[in-house]
């Protein structure tokens, strides 16, 4: 499992995945809090074997809404919880 706070190009996530796979991991999942993905960078994560699961939150609602039904992305909603405390 790889955790990252802000995902833009995805380069860090992919480099970490590659390192884990090179050291024997058979599957890697990821969690990114703020999935920004400018210039359609999310496309790097599509397809079998890239990531087993890729969880994102809805802190960037437009992107989260767009990706919520595209594998391997899974949405974890935090918007209501954050709104309670604001």
Q: What is the mean pLDDT of each run of 10 residues along the chain (86 residues)?
A: 91 94 95 93 88 94 93 92 86
What is the pTM (predicted TM-score) of this model? Answer: 0.87
How crowded is residue 49: how many other Cβ atoms within 10 Å of its Cβ?
Answer: 10
Report the pLDDT value the prediction gives residue 78, as an integer from 0 to 100. 93
**CATH tag, 2-85:** 3.40.50.2020
Pairing of strands 2-7, 30-35: parallel
- Return the ∠ at Cα 44 (arms to 18 and 76), rounded to 5°: 95
């Amino acid at each position: 499992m790889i955790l990252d706070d802000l995902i833009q190009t995805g380069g860090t996530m992919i480099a970490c995945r590659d390192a884990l796979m090179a050291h024997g991991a058979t599957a890697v999942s990821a969690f990114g809090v703020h999935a920004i993905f400018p210039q359609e960078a999310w496309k790097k994560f599509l397809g079998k074997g890239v990531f087993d699961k890729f969880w994102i939150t809805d802190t960037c609602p437009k992107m989260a809404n767009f990706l919520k039904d595209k594998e391997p992305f899974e949405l974890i909603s935090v918007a209501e919880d954050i709104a309670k405390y604001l």
